Chain A
Amino acid sequence: SQTIHQWPATLVQPVGSPLSLECTVEGTSNPNLYWYRQAAGRGLQLLFYSVGIGQISSEVPQNLSASRPQDRQFILSSKKLLLSDSGFYLCAWRPPGQNYEQYFGPGTRLTVT
């Protein structure tokens, strides 16, 4: 069966520090991968998605970036965090070519102080 992992689960970082959040998927090949951010009390906003290694599409301009160094690994990064980057970050995957649901990871709660 397929599983999706995210780490760390929680993170407190000062403004201006770098960020690296990791997401890995097991039990599938060539998944579509997604990074979402959820601000407190809000719905999810798509940040990045990837349909293959090295292929990243950005939905929202910001100081974040994403990379996919391996088929089942998706990394969200920032060189300098802003206070507004605080939120709950969710990684998701979907089988390629399938129009059905995305499966979400457990999330990372980021607090920028």
Chain B
Amino acid sequence: AQKITQTQPGMFVQEKEAVTLDCTYDTSDQSYGLFWYKQPSSGEMIFLIYQGSYDEQNATEGRYSLNFQKARKSANLVISASQLGDSAMYFCAMREFLTGANNLFFGTGTRLTVIP
């Protein structure tokens, strides 16, 4: 089974609008971390936000927030006030801390295009 599932191959959003990128995960570990990375056309993977499985509050970093719903095993990324520079591939990833602690499992990504 896939550890990380991103069901949206591509998304479009109007500049200055908010957008939600979906991510669901599969793990039997009680302790894990969820990450979102941005990959612009240059190829570099840029860390955006982290959510620990025991964190009670949803993580936020500037315009990025993570909508963490543990019971549903979802960790959607919300980008508010989209900017043209947000156009990129976005990857959701997970690390299981009790097993496979050295591996980040990545989803297949969502390509976000911000329309002016």
Known contacts A46-B103, A49-B103, A51-B102; is-contact A99 B95 (Cβ 8 Å)? yes
**Among B42, B44, B91, which residue has its beta carbon within 8 angstroms of that of A44?**
B91
Known contacts A43-B91, A43-B109, A44-B91; is-contact A102 B44 (Cβ 8 Å)? no
User: A90 vs B104: C-alpha distance in the bound complex, in angstroms?
Assistant: 13
Known contacts A44-B104, A44-B106; is-contact A107 B33 (Cβ 8 Å)? no
Give the residues in chain B near A99, CB-CB below 8 Å: 33, 52, 95, 97, 101
> Is there an interface contact between B107 and A32, defined as CB atoms closer than 8 Å?
no
User: A101 vs B59: C-alpha distance in the bound complex, in angstroms?
Assistant: 14
User: A46 vs B103: C-alpha distance in the bound complex, in angstroms?
Assistant: 7
Most buried by B among A44, A100, A102: A44
Name the prevailing secondary structure of the B interface residues: strand
Q: Check B35 for interface membership: any CB of A closer than 8 A.
A: yes
Residues 15-46 of B, flagged 1 when their CB comes within 8 A of A and 0 if not, give 00000000000000000010101000011111
Known contacts A49-B102, A99-B33; is-contact A90 B97 (Cβ 8 Å)? no
User: A100 vs B46: C-alpha distance in the bound complex, in angstroms?
Assistant: 14
Minimum C-beta distance from A107 to chain B (A): 4
> Is there an interface contact between A88 and B108, defined as CB atoms closer than 8 Å?
no
> Is there an interface contact between B35 and A101, defined as CB atoms closer than 8 Å?
yes
Name the prevailing secondary structure of the A interface residues: strand
Chain A contributes a number of interface residues (CB within 8 A of B) equal to: 24
> Is there an interface contact between A106 and B108, defined as CB atoms closer than 8 Å?
no
CB nearest to B103 among chain A residues: A46
> Is there an interface contact between B102 and A103, defined as CB atoms closer than 8 Å?
no
> Is there an interface contact between B43 and A107, defined as CB atoms closer than 8 Å?
yes
Q: 13 A–B contact pairs at CB < 8 A? A: A43-B106, A43-B109, A44-B104, A88-B43, A90-B43, A92-B45, A100-B50, A101-B47, A101-B50, A102-B104, A103-B47, A104-B44, A106-B42
Q: What are the 4 tightest A-B residue pairs by CB atom distance, in nearest-first order?
A: A43-B106, A104-B45, A101-B47, A107-B43
Chain B interface residues toward A at CB < 8 A: 4, 33, 35, 37, 42-47, 50, 52, 91, 93, 95, 97, 101-104, 106-109
